Amino acid sequence: MKYLFKNARILKMNGEEIFFGDLIVKDNRIAYVGKSIDHKDTFDRIIQCDGNLLMPGFKNCHTHSPMVFLRSFADDLPLQDWLFNYCFPAEKNLTGEDIYHLSKLAFLEYLSSGITACFDQYFYPHMFIKACKDFGMRSLVCFMPTSYYSKEDMMRMFEKEENDVHSLTKYCFSLHSEYTTSKEEVDLINELVHHYKVPFYTHLSETKKEVDECYEKRGMSPIEYFEKEGLFDFGGGGYHCIYMSDKDIEIFKKYNLSVVSNPGSNSKLASGICDIEKLRKAGVNVCLGTDGPASNNCLDMFKEMMLAFSFAKLKNMDASALPAEEVLKMATVNGSKALNLKDADILEVGKLADIIMIDLSRPNMRPLLNIEKNIVFSGSKENIKMTMIDGKILYEDGKFFVDEDVEQIYQKSQEITIKLLKAVGRYE
């Protein structure tokens, strides 16, 4: 397919000012972005943007997409109680087929929120990847030690995706956290990280309890422990990273690690506030994630941006902390860096066509004094007019353009939810 987007405001996210112009997508790449000219080519579709804004899609850098079945299930509980007494028991009966269908419900929400790539960590990742490919979602997927994958299984699936240059999906290696992981599991993932020389990610320093218990048990922080084990030798980072010492921050700088902040989840579970401004000023790459739909409960990057700048200003008691432009970078360019999506970070010729259109005709976008600030400070999902992934329009003007009936996705996810919660006596 070849698209011509005419008369658009364009935000490349490369430091240039917003300008009026055209953008051409050929197959899955950007073929032209610049001033409006008389294009002689023929196009499958010409889209009149009427001054609406084209920009790179948002990157959701930490989520557990299939956890939609636990949305609004065990709310108003502290993290440890929520995780061990509600989530873990309900997850024991999940099947790979469940993962496949539940993921698609999350993908619909990503599209309507302008999210064009996600960084997912959950069970049966091969079924999640199948859902991504069938649906058209771009993702980076974590492999964790499980009873249903041998080391050889993980190596085979990793190599298959890595060797597919056209794949929408890639794997990396991960552990759930320091406090849920055995030494044998650490050693296994360490072996794979060093064999393939790839980044490592995990939940890190999410609660004070987690950090305090690690000091009691190991005499060091979780970040120091994983560094000692060599897991950060090829980069990566951590999700949450709320309780970081100055030494922890130095470790992140040393290995060029990324912090994935999840302000929605962290506030709902009362885990704490990540000091994004301190990390940013220290030179650490900080991006945003929604976390899973059980702990958030929505998969909305606008909400995360709003909470990120709000918490930063409150934590530092400084209204100038974390400017809107920096928040927008966290949701796009910084996320691309964390996901190693070098071809999907900005709007430039040759880059992947992962593009969103922001509807500037809505009242929350007016007046047009500063569009970037409007997106961060007053924007919402209602402003997502179009979401394109890999050169395909999957969402436009409130309608989804995917290969499966949306009502069937809703119905299937409802059936799976009832089945799983009934199995643990949590559904009446």
| Domain assignment present for 426 | no
Question: Domain ends where: 309, 339, 369?
Answer: 339
| Domain assignment present for 424 | no
Question: Domain ends where: 339, 357, 376?
Answer: 339
CATH number at residue 196: 3.20.20.140
| Those residues with Cβ within 8 angstroms of residue 185's Cβ, 6 or more apart along the chain or in another chain | 145, 175
Statement to judge: residues 238 and 320 lie in one domain: yes
Statement to judge: residues 7 and 94 lie in one domain: no
Residue 249 banded pLDDT, cuts 50, 70, 90: very high
CA gap 262, 241 in Å, rounded: 9
- Position 306 scores a pLDDT of 97
Residue 165 banded pLDDT, cuts 50, 70, 90: confident
| Domain assignment present for 238 | yes
| Domain assignment present for 288 | yes
Statement to judge: residues 63 and 25 lie in one domain: no
| Those residues with Cβ within 8 angstroms of residue 239's Cβ, 6 or more apart along the chain or in another chain | 62, 201, 202, 203, 204, 206, 260, 262, 289, 291
- Is pLDDT larger for residue 330 or for residue 79? 330
Statement to judge: residues 52 and 161 lie in one domain: no
- Position 164 scores a pLDDT of 82
Statement to judge: residues 111 and 200 lie in one domain: yes
For residues 255-264, average pLDDT: 98
State percent of the chain over pLDDT 70.
100
State percent of the chain over pLDDT 90.
90
For residues 195-205, average pLDDT: 96
Phi-psi region of 410 (alpha: psi -120 to 50; beta: other; left: phi over 0): alpha
Burial of 112 from C-beta contacts in 10 A (0-12 / 13-18 / 19+):
middle
Whether pLDDT at 26 is above 90: yes
- Position 166 scores a pLDDT of 75
Statement to judge: residues 261 and 380 lie in one domain: no
- Position 389 scores a pLDDT of 98
Question: Domain ends where: 292, 322, 339?
Answer: 339
Residues 303, 177, 329, 120: what is their CA dihedral angle, to the nearest 10 degrees? -70
Statement to judge: residues 242 and 107 lie in one domain: yes
Task: Name the token pair of 209.
Answer: 């309890």
Hey, CA dihedral for 112, 116, 121, 125, is it positive or negative?
positive
CATH number at residue 349: 2.30.40.10
Task: Name the token pair of 183.
Answer: 């030494």
Statement to judge: residues 380 and 268 lie in one domain: no
| Domain assignment present for 364 | yes
Residue 245 banded pLDDT, cuts 50, 70, 90: very high
Task: Name the token pair of 147.
Answer: 């009873």
By the 8 A CB rule, do 355 and 343 touch? no
Enclosing domain of residue 84: 58-339
Statement to judge: residues 208 and 321 lie in one domain: yes
Task: Name the token pair of 423.
Answer: 């199995």
Instruction: Evaluate if pTM is beyond 0.75.
Output: yes
Task: Name the token pair of 204.
Answer: 């890190």
Task: Name the token pair of 311.
Answer: 């918490």
| Domain assignment present for 422 | no
Statement to judge: residues 29 and 123 lie in one domain: no
CA gap 375, 356 in Å, rounded: 12
Statement to judge: residues 12 and 90 lie in one domain: no
pLDDT digits (tens, 9 = 90+) for 127-163: 999 999 999 999 999 999 987 889 999 999 899 888 8
pLDDT digits (tens, 9 = 90+) for 319-373: 999 999 999 999 999 999 999 999 999 999 999 999 999 999 999 999 999 999 9
| Domain assignment present for 295 | yes
Residue identified by tokens 């001033």 is 35
Number of domains in the chain: 2
Statement to judge: residues 153 and 181 lie in one domain: yes
Residue 266 banded pLDDT, cuts 50, 70, 90: very high
| Domain assignment present for 403 | no
CA gap 4, 214 in Å, rounded: 55
pLDDT digits (tens, 9 = 90+) for 277-319: 999 999 999 999 999 999 899 999 999 999 999 999 999 999 9
By the 8 A CB rule, do 322 and 276 touch? yes
